[in-house]
Chain A
Amino acid sequence: MKNILLILLSTTLLAACATKPAPRVYWGNYSDSLYELKKEPSANTILTHKQELEEIISKSEAWNILPPPGISAELGKLYLEAGEKERAVQMIKQEALNYPESQTLVALLLRNMEEQNK
């Protein structure tokens, strides 16, 4: 009886240890933090959404999956609006590296940014 209990216990523990399989794509609480930001744009809601996007990207990296479509570029936009130009350009370029489908848009964005700098 004791043996059975031990086996059961260790199986449960092992099952808990097994790493969860990576999701195909991870969006976290994207929709909720974005909606809060759209409903009431404030320093607070912007920061929450920015942190959500950063977390989505870091978790995706940890799982070795691509960050969701558009997320890197959207984070780049928030960096740009906060005046962090270098980080912004890097993030926007990352979008095109992850998803070649975004190349036209990314090129357009970078061109717009250059024109605004002139």
Chain B
Amino acid sequence: MRTKKITTTKTITRLKTLLVLVATVSILSGCATRTQYLTKQEAFPAMYDQKPLSILVVPAINDSTAADAGDIYASTIAPYLSYGGYYVLPIEITTAMLRADGIQDGHQLLDVPAEKLGAMFGADAVLFVNITEWDTNYRVFGGNVTVAIGFDLKSTKTGESLWSYKVRQVTNTSGDSNNGGLLGAIIVTAIKTATQDYMPIAKQVNSIAVSTLPLGSYHPFHNKDQLFKNVHPDLFGAAAKQ
């Protein structure tokens, strides 16, 4: 009887220690800087005021080392904007018309007001993007592909920025080291990185960016996503333009 009582007390003490430990861990993890995401309404109020219906996508400003990054972007962005509920003017046509006016590259549009572009094509907003990184990095053990794009949607009524977001995506391209040992792994990585298909990465970047864009009038949840909280505090506004 006596021994049993001692064991019970011991168990209780152990349980208490455990509880203290659990509590400490929870408190500590609570202290760890947890990202405070913003709602779409908090981040992009002008979007809900103006409710643009149509978007003109202009040629990207390509500051990366990849010459075809602009083409990959222009081929992949329209579906994502339309999934987000927007009418996207036919990019192949608007780009050809701009080219006929001597505009080949996004840099040439830096001084053109969004109002002017809007009047010319009949768009409510213009999407400017800056491709800052589009790089393939080789390392001895594995490599990666980094894509970074800053998005900026401007109103053609007021010229102000309605929505902006920056996405930087790093995709690992490591080979499988179990096949053919170390040398094999290095060769596999080099081949995989060289032939890395950029299309899926570009699609992913577009998808992540557009997920923060308030939904447009062709989406059933248009004007119902104000409280959706997924805007990273360090990636919108001025941060998107760096």
Contact = CB atoms under 8 A, between A and B. Distances in A.
A22 interface: no
Best-surrounded residue of B74, B90, B121, B220 (most CB of chain A within 10 A) = B90
Contacts of B220: 24
Interface stretch (B58-66, B78-86, B144-152): B78-86
Interface of B: 53-54, 68, 71-72, 74-76, 78-79, 82-83, 86-94, 96-97, 120-122, 124, 199, 203, 218-220
Interface of A: 24-25, 27, 30-32, 34-35, 38-39, 68-71, 73-74, 77, 95, 99, 101-105, 108-109
Contacts, number: 85
A31 B90 contact: no
Given A25-B82, A32-B199, A105-B121, A38 B75 contact: yes
B79 A31 contact: yes
Given A24-B83, A31-B75, A38-B71, A101 B91 contact: no
B122 A105 contact: yes
B79 A27 contact: yes
Nearest to A72: B90
A38 B96 CA distance: 12
Chain B interface SS verdict (over half) = helix
A39 B68 contact: yes
A53 to B, nearest CB: 10
Contact of A34 (B68, B82, B87, B92): B92
B122 A73 contact: no
A39 B90 CA distance: 18
Contacts of A38: 71, 74-75
B81 to A, nearest CB: 8
Given A69-B82, A101-B54, A35 B91 contact: no
Nearest to A73: B90
Nearest to B118: A104
12 contacts: A24-B218, A24-B220, A27-B79, A31-B76, A32-B199, A34-B92, A38-B75, A68-B82, A69-B86, A77-B90, A103-B122, A108-B97
A99 B93 contact: no
A74 B203 CA distance: 21
Contacts of A25: 79, 82-83, 218
B170 to A, nearest CB: 22
Contacts of A99: 87
B26 to A, nearest CB: 42
Given A35-B71, A73-B93, A101 B87 contact: yes
Contact of B93 (A35, A74, A101, A104): A74
